[in-house]
Each structure stands twice: as C-alpha cells, then as structure tokens.
Amino acid sequence: MVMEQVIIIGGACAGWTAAIYAARANLKPIIISGNEEGGQLMLTTMVENFPGFPEGIMGPELMERMKQQAKRFGARIYPEDATSFSSVKGGYAVKSPSGTFQAKSIIIATGARARTLGIPSEKKFWAKGVHTCATCDGFFYSNKKVMVIGGGDSACEEASFLSNVAKQVVIVHRRDTMNASKVMQDRVKRNKKITFLWNSTITEFKGKDLLHSVVLEDLVTRKKTEQSMDGVFLAIGHIPNTSIFTGKVELNEHGFLVVDRRMHTNLPGVFGAGDVQDFIYRQAITAAGTGCQAALEVERYLQG
Ligand code: NDP
C-alpha cells in the first residue's frame, strides 16, 4: 500500500484550507471530505464576516469555492465519511468506503455540530429565525427582540454579543441557575438589556416564512405561553465529530480534540484544525486559519 504524505479528514473550512496549502506544497493530499461536505456553513445563508467578500457570500457557495481551489492544485477528494483511524508502521491508516489509505501525517478537520432542541418546527425556521451563532447572524437582529437558549459559557457569550445589536435579549434556561463560569454569569447579570427566564424551554417555533413567535413551557408548572420573538439563538453545546478518534487521540472532557498552539495533537504527525478542536471561536475564518497552520506544520513535520 502506498504511504502518502498527508490525509486530511473533513471537507469544510479547515479541511479545504489545509488542502489548498498542502497541495500547493506538492504534498498531493488526499481529502476524505465526508458524506456531507461543507460542514456547518452548508446550513447558513449569507456569510457577511468572511474577509474578501464585501457583499457577503452564501455559506454553500463559499464552501464550493474553497473546494474548487483545493482541486485546482491537485487535491484528491473522496466525498465520503472516514470510518476508522489507526496507527501503522511509519504513519497512520484511515478507512473509508473506497478503501484504506495510509499516510505519514494526518490533519483532523472533522468539525462539530451544534446541539439542537430536536423539536419538529426547528428545521422549518433554521436560519430564518433559529440560529446557532450570534457572531455570524446577530447582525440581522439589529434593534429586535431575541432569545438565547442555554445556561453555559456559550449562552453568556452569545447573549453579551447580541446585547450590542438587539433591543432586548432573554436568556432561557431549563434550570434555575446557570452552569457558566462566574465571571461570565456576572457579566450577563450586570447587562441591563439581558433578562432571564428560568426553568423554561421552547416547545414550538411559529411563523409563516420567518419566525414570529415561540411557545414556551414552564418546566415547574408545565404551563405553556406564546411570546412574539424575532430570533432565537441556540447555545446548548456543540458535539465534535470525533467518534473515530476516541481512545486513540487525546480528547477533552467534551470530546474536542486537544491540540497545542501549533495544532499538534498528542500523536506525532497528527494535527487538528477547525471546530473539532475549537470550542471558543468557532468561526469560518478561524477554522480556515487553523487549517493553514496545520498544513504548514505537516510540511515541517515531513521535513523532519
Ligand atoms: P455547555 O455544555 O457548557 O452548556 C450547555 C448548556 O445548554 C447547559 O446549560 C445545558 O443545560 C443546556 N442544554 C443542553 N442541552 C439542552 C437542551 N436540549 N435543551 C435546553 N438546554 C440544554 O456548552 P457551552 O457551549 O456553553 O460550553 C462548552 C465548553 O466550551 C465549556 O467548557 C465552556 O466553558 C467552553 N466555552 C468557553 C468559552 C470561553 O472561554 N470564552 C466560550 C464558550 C464556551 P443543563 O445544565 O441542564 O444540561
């Protein structure tokens, strides 16, 4: 079996960027890009904060352009899921439905997915009132009324960000206390634009094409009420796509890949990039940036 230079697992912002850099460095990368290429940007509409697109660009188009750029420099793309990862003599093996590939180095860029409430109406209003990234979509709610669901650090951060844009922000949490760090909690509690709705959850999103109202359930009294609402931001955690690496590469307590400042995992020659290792910034541009870093580190690693 051929021992390739590098296999990149994941075909979204981080993976495509790593592929562009690796291909231009003549490493002839193999990209196992996933059954659902493009990751979270395929679920967004207009991306207005990716530099170089002053009019904005649709998320799926941005992904397609990155893919074409990687292809132009000779990246070999397999649009399917990697099904296993293991160490072999001189490198690593990755299996996918097309077969087994081996390489001296690996870039893991499998991303993460936002946890959702899982209620039927959520899909209908996805990106039309229901969002998972305030930095990305908060701008559309200038002077409007929004809700943030969750009680962790993400919920606090999303609410703080939205309070700079929206007229009113309500944090809805299913408990009567938050689990966010104290400093984050103090910040939102001091913010006059942010109010709280404890022991509550959303059971239905309503509207015609765009979200117009939400049905809330008080989890203590079980009473349901309807409230008009312009936007809802889910901040109930992210699930990193790391199942095939569990027990093989170091992961943190939430399942995210642990990397150092130069994107190295605990295994020599294995690097991480994008949301699979980032639970703080989670932006297209930071994913692209870490994809570039990982590819440059692969070059250094291969040069010994
Ligand atoms: P967390 O897992 O910490 O919090 C998720 C929150 O969502 C919890 O309050 C949880 O409630 C709630 N929740 C989960 N599922 C549901 C559901 N189905 N319905 C309603 N509520 C739900 O996720 P975060 O994204 O906030 O944080 C993940 C990690 O990232 C943490 O370690 C955090 O510290 C870190 N982080 C750090 C930041 C920073 O340093 N700037 C910024 C953001 C995150 P319950 O308690 O009831 O389960």
Segment 261-280 mean pLDDT: 97
Judge if 243 and 187 occupy the same domain: no
**pLDDT category of residue 232 using cuts at 50, 70 and 90:** very high
Q: Which of helix, strand or coil describes residue 2?
A: coil
In the prediction, which pLDDT does 302 show? 98
In the prediction, which pLDDT does 43 show? 79
Q: Give the residue, out of 130, 154, 251, with the most ligand 1 atoms within 8 A of its beta carbon, to mutate for a pocket test.
A: 154
Judge if 28 and 102 occupy the same domain: yes
Q: Give the span between the Cα atoms of 130 and 32, in whole angstroms.
A: 30
What domain count does the chain have?
Answer: 2
Tell me which amino acid residue 283 is: Q
In 27-90 the beta strands, taken as DSSP E runs, fall at 30-32, 46-47, 57-58, 76-78, 84-88
Task: Please tell me if the CB atom of residue 240 comes closer than 6 angstroms to any atom of ligand 1.
Answer: no
Please give the model's pTM, rounded to 2 decimal places: 0.87
From 13, 133, 156, 292, the catalytic residue: 133
153 among known catalytic residues: no
Ligand 1 geometric centre to CA of 88 (Å): 37
pLDDT tens-place string over residues 15-62: 999 999 999 999 999 999 999 999 989 877 788 899 999 999 999 999
**Domain end among 234, 269, 294:** 234
Judge if 53 and 186 occupy the same domain: no
Task: Please tell me if the CB atom of residue 286 comes closer than 6 angstroms to any atom of ligand 1.
Answer: no
218 among known catalytic residues: no
Give the phi and the psi of residue 220 in degrees, each rounded to 5.
-90, -50
Give me the domain span that covers residue 193. 116-234
Task: Please give, one letter per residue, the 3-state secondary structure of 247-281.
Answer: CCCCECCCCCECCCCCCECCCCCEEECHHHCCCCC
137 among known catalytic residues: yes
Judge if 225 and 251 occupy the same domain: no
Give the phi and the psi of residue 224 in degrees, each rounded to 5.
-110, 140
Judge if 142 and 194 occupy the same domain: yes
pLDDT tens-place string over residues 93-133: 999 999 999 999 999 999 999 999 999 999 999 999 999 99
Judge if 120 and 230 occupy the same domain: yes
From 137, 230, 275, 278, the catalytic residue: 137
Q: Give the span between the Cα atoms of 304 and 58, in whole angstroms.
A: 40
Question: Which domain CATH number covers 33?
Answer: 3.50.50.60
Task: Please tell me if the CB atom of residue 196 comes closer than 6 angstroms to any atom of ligand 1.
Answer: no
pLDDT tens-place string over residues 162-172: 999 999 999 99
Judge if 142 and 280 occupy the same domain: no
Task: Please tell me if the CB atom of residue 15 comes closer than 6 angstroms to any atom of ligand 1.
Answer: no
Judge if 100 and 85 occupy the same domain: yes
- The encoded tokens of residue 139 equal 């701008």
